[in-house]
Amino acid sequence: MKFATIGHLIDEKSMDFIPKEWAINNMIVSPEKNINGIKGHITGLTLTARQMMELPIEQVREKILDTAIFLQEVHEVDLIQLGALTTSVTSGGVWLTQQNEYKGFVNHGDSYTAAVTCHAVEKALNFYNKEPSKLTLSIIGSYGVIGEAVSKILISKFKKSILIGRRLEKLKELTSKIDGNFQISTDLDTASADIIVTATSHPKALLNPTHLKKNAIIIDVSQPPNLSHEVCKLRPDICRIDGGYVEFPVKHKINIPGIPSGKIFSCIVEVIMQAMENDRNNHVGSIELEHLEKTKNWGRKYGFVINELTNFGKTIN
């Protein structure tokens, strides 16, 4: 199988980190990567996160489909991973699988991202010697693809959880799928949380200093990040942790603009591992926990792991 990712720019400045030769017909397409015999491309739209959410969804979807068809016809790609907000605007990737022009497989990469997020929470608790049964957890974006899976896995481990989202009906729908002591909120109700997981499709940082309890730990999965450098500087007591990165083994190493050296987004890793396993299935929509467990096994098999906790790519000591 030959893979490709389809992402987008974080903001207008992101193009400064993209090699000029990657820009092709309003798309970003890397040279072919070879990872232990598995070939693929890192690609994306030239839209920013804000444009992804503010432009008409039909227009954004058309650009995603055009990119998928280009990759299929020009580069013989038969497995596409939708990154960041390209997942959100395609209903978790389901929409792309319904388009007849694209013949290959689709994976949103969020199964392994959810697994890695839960592992990051576990490592953070161990690092700070904290017992989850005594703590309050908040999950922002709790009914999203990643948030739902994280909620199912983590809530039962904490004393109390607060599930946060913008749509009350979706939050109520989520409550029928999970067990544990929790409440739901359409407000940014994080001020009492010891641990916060962000998994939103919001195009800019959401959290400000007033949202954060003293010594709060934030696992920030969102792209763009939901917690900014500026807030981290204003609140040195808190700990922000990158929620979406794993180590990239040296023998597989490729450099992707904007990603810290030696690391890679876990969603990209999932599609690489799927190609390595020759798994010819779509993995879209809600996460199946059985597949999530499978991606954890793949990660251990191929050496994609979290060796250290980082904040914006810098090791946390």
Stretch 54-64: mean pLDDT: 97
User: Bigger pLDDT: 18 or 212?
Assistant: 212
DSSP E strand boundaries for 141-221: 160-164, 182-185, 195-198, 217-220
Tell me if 3-111+253-287 shares its fold with 114-245+309-315: yes
- Predicted local distance difference test score (pLDDT) of residue 238: 97
Class of the 3-111+253-287 domain?
Answer: alpha beta
pLDDT > 90: what percent of the chain? 80
Q: Is the pLDDT of residue 39 over 80?
A: yes
Q: How far is CA 73 from each of CA 32, 90, 104, rounded to the nearest angstrom? A: 15, 21, 11
- Predicted local distance difference test score (pLDDT) of residue 14: 86
Q: Is the pLDDT of residue 168 over 70?
A: yes
Exposed/middle/buried for residue 115 (C-beta within 10 Å: 0-12, 13-18, 19+): buried
- Predicted local distance difference test score (pLDDT) of residue 258: 66
Q: How do residues 199-245 score in pLDDT, each as one tens digit? A: 987 777 889 999 999 999 999 998 778 999 999 999 999 999 998 88
Q: Is the dihedral of CA 143, 144, 149, 153 positive or negative?
A: negative
Neighbours of 242 (CB within 10 A): 23
Q: Which of 39-43, 57-61, 95-99, 260-264 has the lowest mean pLDDT?
A: 260-264
Delimit the domains of the chain by residue range.
Answer: 3-111+253-287, 114-245+309-315
Distance CA 49, CA 58 (A): 16
Report the candidate in 8, 18, 10, 12 with the shortest Cα–Cα distance to residue 67: 8
Average pLDDT of the chain is 93
- Predicted local distance difference test score (pLDDT) of residue 257: 67
Q: Which of 30-34, 184-188, 310-314 has the lowest mean pLDDT?
A: 310-314
**CATH classification of 114-245+309-315, choosing from 3.30.420.40, 3.40.50.720, 3.40.50.2300, 3.40.640.10?**
3.40.50.720
